[in-house]
Amino acid sequence: MNKARIVRLLAKEEYLMAKYTDVYKYAGSGQEVDGIYKGYRKSFGFVIMPDGIDDIYVSVENKGSAMHNDKVRVRILGSTAGNQKKEGLVVEVLERANETIVGTYDRQQSFGFVIPDDERIGEDVYVALENTMNARSGAKVLVKIISWPEKKRKAEGIITEILGYEGDVGLDINCIMANHKIPFSFPKQVLDESLRIDTIIRNNPKRLDLRNEQLVTIDGEDAKDLDDAVSVQVLDNGNYKLGVHIADVSHYVISGSEIDREAYKRGTSVYLVDRVIPMLPVALSNGICSLNAHEDRYAMTCLMEINEAGKVVDYTITPSIINVGRRCNYKEVFKAIDQNIIPDDMIPFMPMLHNLYKVSQILNKMRQRRGALDFDFPEYRVMLDHDGTPLQIVKRERTLAERLIEECMLIANETVATHLKNTHRTSVYRIHEKPSEEKLSNFQTVLNYLGQNILLNADEIEPRNFQDILHAIKGTDIEQVAQIMTLRSMQQAKYSIENVGHFGLASTCYTHFTSPIRRYPDLMVHRLLKADMHWEDGYKLRDVKEEFLARASEHSSIQEQVAVAAERETDDLKKTQYMVPFVGQVFTGHVSSITSFGMFVELENGIDGLVHISMMNDDYYFYDEEHFVMVGKRTGTIYRLGQEVTVTLVKADVERKQIDFVLGEVDNLMLIQEQLKQSSNKSKGRNSSSKRGSSRNSSSNRSSSSKSRSNLKIKSKGGKKKTNKSKKSKHKK
């Protein structure tokens, strides 16, 4: 047996590992750990480790059959040459992440391939002709994996959905939805069940009849799922009786029914840039569950007596029957209260609206005294044409009307959470944990570097500490930086059966009760309330069991993250499309983020783009991670968070949803664009001459490379052009 064959056999048995082509090294028998494999196009990847352990570099030769986001077991081999980062070998794929993949179908003579849109997956998927749904080449499709890749065999799949062809309206959003596994429609059995629901509102002596009370809804102008109404009365003792009335979805969505199972699976409604994907069928979300004006509706009512200090001194939670007297929107409520511009049919409701405003101010002051954080970052909305073309980006102000309804919802959520906690039964809470010690340390470092000598103790940290910092620097040139860093130091809110409080709201007990049409945890909370009051319907034994509540809370948290990711991605897509006509123009923006590979600059319209470090060619820049600044090694030039800069838009890559800037004004835009084009072609290029081989056993030779941007002349001056941005908002915390 010759030496080459012996080496190949040893490599096959994983005693040796490929370092370069025909160069091997001893694989050793190092420690094996589990983590998530993250592909970097097709050239290499990393295994992301839990608990802050350093990531492990994995070369393409050592990734085995792992695909992006797979959970894998990796053997640690040592450090890469000239680098302290650990290198590893994937020895086993523990859990597959990509059961379905979105991509472009490429048909050959007797078979085809799906080329993933996400380059990090790094594997084309072989599809036999009988499994293509007769898709034509170039179709955007959803492919289901039926056989995972092996060393010399590609993954195999079947096309389950043709998303569309180039030029189809909404195709870009369809692809994002499919990528995030967001459903396009409801199963037939769910729709059939929704049409069989009894929509007649019947008198029930056990329900509190509030149909003669003055109630209003306050929402956005285009909202269709109206799940909350409010009312208020001034009591003889000077206190306020605030009523928050929420759609009684649990009356219609029976636990364990087809509708309920689908709602659980979705977890939340998803508000994309061009459409809403509801958690419940439209017959419910926009129909019988929506608190439409002048129509009787079943509700879950929380009546709270609130004193001048903002304390709830008494409350009642009960099923009810209501009839909303008027639908109001944010704009008209703001104009009515702030500018005394009142529509005629709104005049009878003005005394109540003024009292609601007074109550909201009392509640806001109470939360401020408690130390609650109140970030007031601007929101933007991308306005689209009928064919999905972005027309403009509009800044959305948060007025007293939004704040009014938000305060009502916050106090209702807190009151319900406290009630559930006092039942001493397992419940569902919305929790927001304290900042981690690492994040707190980073935040303090930046503050100290900016001249704020503040000591933050992770064991004793309170929301008030952050509030004091924000108040101290309000109006200074570092205010924006401090706000950004404060937000980044926060943990992510989630659902849990363990009540650890809500740090950002400075609340010891908080839940979500006010949006059961569009959030499954709120529906769970309604069922828990009914179970506690031994109500006649709306819940089952499963709905109070700890095992189910824990599992459902975790699932809902995951689905919320999926929805947020999809919403951001559709926003990024349309923002990139919007910026395409402005390529070559000069803007003024502020540094919004700094990383080892460059700086992100946010424009006045809320759009941000990357100034890659390789484009900063007036000096050799390095990232000072400790102080979150970019520093020029020769000149000492420093770029900080929040700093105003002038940039030129050089590329708006719609396919990747990426915007590229360079600092200052450029001399030769065409040169930059050509270099970016060459770099992009290399990084996503597919070797068409191979035709991906002639069978499933062949391999694709798509190459990848890093972006190279150099020899660019950049001026440091120029004019600026204003544009505009967006996001949907609905009183959530």
Q: 4-50, pLDDT tens digit by residue?
A: 776 666 666 555 655 555 665 555 556 888 999 998 866 789 998 87
For 534-565, how does the pLDDT look when each residue is reduced to its tens digit (9 = 90+)?
999 999 999 999 999 999 999 999 999 999 99
CB contact at 8 A, 193 and 186: no
Q: What is the pLDDT of residue 439?
A: 83
684 close to 618: Cβ distance less than 8 angstroms: no
Q: Is the Cβ–Cβ distance between 456 and 444 less than 8 Å?
A: yes
Place of tokens 């802050």: 52
Q: What whole-number distance in Å separates Cα of residue 546 and Cα of residue 6?
A: 57
CA quadruple 724, 726, 730, 733: dihedral sign: negative
- The model's confidence at residue 121, banded by pLDDT at 50, 70 and 90, is confident
What pLDDT score does 593 carry?
87
Mean pLDDT of 350-367: 98
Per residue, what are the HEC states of 1-32? CCHHHHHHHHHHCCCEEEEECCEEEECCCCCE
d(CA 43, CA 112): 24
pLDDT digits (tens, 9 = 90+) for 447-470: 777 777 777 777 788 998 888 888
What residue has token string 């950004």?
A: 484
What does the pLDDT average to over 207-221? 97
Smallest CA-to-CA distance from 686 within 208, 29, 114, 88 is with 114
Among 128, 125, 132, residue whose Cα is nearest residue 65: 125
pLDDT of residue 53: 65
Bigger pLDDT: 613 vs 703: 613
Q: Measuring CA to CA, which residue among 179, 110, 94 is closest to residue 141?
A: 179
Does pLDDT of 631 surpass 80?
A: yes
Residues 179, 642: Cα–Cα separation, whole Å:
34
Note the pLDDT of residue 556. 98
The reported pLDDT for the residue numbered 710 is: 29
Range with top average pLDDT, 76-90, 99-113, 352-366, 628-642: 352-366
Q: What percent of the chain clears pLDDT 90, i.e. is strictly above it?
A: 64
Domains 3-95 and 571-715 share a fold: yes
- Using CB atoms within 10 Å of the CB of residue 212, give its burial: 0 to 12 exposed, 13 to 18 middle, 19+ buried: exposed
Q: Which residues pair with 519 in a beta bridge?
A: 268
> What are the phi and psi torsion angles at 285 (to 5°)?
-65, -40
Q: Report pLDDT digits (tens) over 371-419.
A: 999 877 778 999 999 999 999 999 988 899 999 999 999 999 999 999 9
Question: What pLDDT sits at residue 589?
Answer: 94
- Specify the long-range contacts of residues 230-234, CB closer than 8 Å, at least 24 apart: 230/356, 230/405, 230/408, 231/352, 232/352, 232/355, 232/356, 232/359, 233/355, 234/355
Residue 705, pLDDT above cutoff 70: no
The whole-number pLDDT of residue 12 equals 60
Please state, in angstroms and as integers, the Cα–Cα distance from residue 22 to each residue in 59, 78, 415, 493, following that order.
Answer: 15, 20, 68, 50
Are the C-beta atoms of residues 286 and 186 closer than 8 Å to each other?
no
From the CB of residue 413, how many other CB atoms can be counted at a distance below 10 Å?
28
Q: pLDDT tens for residues 491-524?
A: 999 999 999 999 999 999 999 999 999 999 999 9
Q: What is the pLDDT of residues 437-448, one digit of tens each?
A: 888 888 887 777
Residue 435 C-alpha from the chain's centroid:
19
318 closest CA partner among 518, 529, 468 = 529
Question: Where does the pLDDT of residue 364 fall: very low under 50, low under 70, confident under 90, or very high at 90 and above?
Answer: very high
From residue 351, give the alpha-carbon distance in Å to each of 343, 347, 412, 500.
14, 8, 22, 39
Domain 571-715 sits in CATH 2.40.50.140: yes
DSSP state of 631: E
| pLDDT attached to residue 437 | 85
- Among 69-83, 340-354, 420-434, which is the least confidently predicted range? 69-83
Which H or E element spans position 415? Answer: helix 400-422
Between 705 and 212, the more confident residue is 212
- Band of the pLDDT at 79, cuts 50, 70, 90? low
Question: Helices (DSSP H) in 537-630: which residue ranges?
Answer: 546-579
d(CA 558, CA 562): 6
Write the class of the CATH domain 100-179.
mainly beta
Distance (Å, whole) CA 286 – CA 292: 9
* Cα–Cα distance measured from residue 282 to residue 224, given in angstroms and rounded to the nearest whole number: 10
83 pLDDT above the threshold of 70? no
Q: What is the CATH number of domain 3-95?
A: 2.40.50.140
Q: Per-residue confidence at 86, pLDDT binned at 50, 70, 90?
A: confident
Average pLDDT taken over every residue of the chain: 86
Domain definitions of the chain by residue range: 3-95, 100-179, 189-430+500-565, 434-490, 571-715
Q: What CA–CA distance (Å, rounded) separates 68 from 97? A: 8
* pLDDT given at position 716: 34
Which residues are registered as beta bridge partners of 318?
Answer: 301
Q: Read off the pLDDT band of 195 (50, 70, 90).
A: very high
Instruction: Report percent pLDDT > 70 for the chain.
Output: 86
Residue 151, pLDDT above cutoff 90? no
Kindly indicate the confidence band of residue 625, based on its pLDDT and cuts at 50, 70 and 90: confident
The whole-angstrom distance between residue 667's C-alpha and the CA centroid of its chain comes to 38
Q: Is the pLDDT assigned to residue 720 strictly greater than 70?
A: no
Q: Residue 696: pLDDT above 70?
A: no
